[in-house]
Amino acid sequence: MIAERIDEILRRLQWPIAYGVLAISPLFVVETMQWLFRSLDYPVYATMFWLGFFGVFFVFRTRKPSNPWLLSWVARERRLSHAIITTIFFKGGGHAVAWLNRYLGEWFQRLSAGRKEQGSKEPHDSVPSHESADLDARSSSSSNGDIGMAFNVDWLRSASPFFLPSAPMILWLLSALVLPASLRCLVLGVGIAYHLLSVYVELCEVPYDQLGFSRRFAWCFVIPMNIAVFGITYAFALKGFSGVPCFLLELGHPLRTVRGWFGWSEIT
């Protein structure tokens, strides 16, 4: 099954991905600082973003992270984020895998059967019985909805709400309908501040065995990814949709600078 193979690959890639993200985390920090220095080029957007960002921490300045109200609100938002992310990425991926397995699997079966017919002297009018049985079983399992959530990758599903900020995305989509650009930056500041605060609360207050990943994985993957998420959100607040690819493309600038220090020229 394609789903089981993808599941096994992602399971094996958990720590290579985590250590890879940790290795490039200095690039996230440097690029985020560069965008912070660019705030003077966009004074209105930067001011509105920081008003919303620090406003959230000002509201919760007298509340401890273990405040029951805050913990219950974060738990509800996490369940909503988890439901959205699971529906979009995992169930959507499950339906995609089911479609590929149903149509492309049958196409490969028919292709192999056709080659066998061409190589054989005796004509065959139909697919062999054992292959047709496999096709019937696969189509029945797909039609009955047994695929469900095709990707059963616990670490990715558990960690996804911690680095995919659903709150800023939902707030921005709602504000984009009625608010001007400057106020949308305010909403982005509120959303990303709430996301970072909720991540901090859960990492500090919730046991790691309930989170679905270890403390080492949090330091290697979750925290560096949130640095990148903050930088991308800030670039988006200052420059709109063009800020996101700018942030990603400029991640290699420090490496090119270091290469220039050592006199390493690019191969042309």
Residue 140 scores a pLDDT above 50 = no
pLDDT(45) > 70: yes
Residue type at 231 in one-letter notation:
G
Q: Return d(Cα 188, Cα 233) in angstroms, integer.
A: 7
Three-state DSSP state, 116? helix
115 token code pair: 């080659």
pLDDT (mean) for 31-49 = 93
- DSSP state, residue 62: T
Q: Which of 111-115, 235-239, 256-260 has the lowest mean pLDDT?
A: 111-115
pLDDT tens for 148-202 read 444 445 687 788 788 888 777 777 888 877 888 888 899 899 889 988 988 888 8
Average pLDDT, the chain: 74
Taking 80 as the threshold, does the pLDDT of residue 240 lie above it?
yes
Task: Identify the pLDDT of residue 131.
Answer: 41
Query: Which residue would you say has higher pLDDT here, 131 or 24?
Result: 24
Q: Residue 42: what pLDDT?
A: 92
Residue (of 198, 193, 175, 172) closest to 73 by Cα position: 198
pLDDT at 53: 93
pLDDT above 80: residue 63: no
H/E stretch holding 219 reads none
pLDDT tens profile 187-206:
899 889 988 988 888 888 77
pTM of the model: 0.70
